[in-house]
Amino acid sequence: GENVEQHPSTLSVQEGDSAVIKCTYSDSASNYFPWYKQELGKRPQLIIDIRSNVGEKKDQRIAVTLNKTAKHFSLHITETQPEDSAVYFCAATPFMGTSYGKLTFGQGTILTVHP
């Protein structure tokens, strides 16, 4: 089945700096890659996603890049703000195979933005 590795596990930045979180996946059939943000005590919420037919997607200060050949994808947050502090999860799911129908999550990255 699919296996998703996420790095780093913790990330500390100053307000205004950029933050990058990287994930690798194992199943070459994976074709959908969402990113979720979970603030302390709250439920995870989708912040951006990318499908395998595109290499990059941007939404204001957030962008995701995908390298299907290397089987990795990354979340980029620019001009970070204290309200970006949260746990971020990447995930992947394939369109076929034994992992079809399952969304596999990375272990999470605790991002702290210092004012």
Partner 1 sequence: DGGITQSPKYLFRKEGQNVTLSCEQNLNHDAMYWYRQDPGQGLRLIYYSQIVNDFQKGDIAEGYSVSREKKESFPLTVTSAQKNPTAFYLCASSVRDPTDTQYFGPGTRLTVL
Residues making contact with partner 1 (CB under 8 A): 1, 6, 9, 31-32, 34, 42-46, 49, 51, 89, 91, 93, 95, 101-108
Residue 31, beta-bridge partner list: none
**Of 15 and 96, which has the nearer Cβ to partner 1?**
96
113 Cβ contact list (under 8 Å, min separation 6)? 13, 14, 15, 19, 80, 81, 82, 83, 84, 85
Handedness of CA 3, 37, 87, 42 (dihedral sign): negative
Distance in Å, CB of 15 to partner 1, minimum: 26
**Of 84 and 108, which has the nearer Cβ to partner 1?**
108
**Of 14 and 43, which has the nearer Cβ to partner 1?**
43
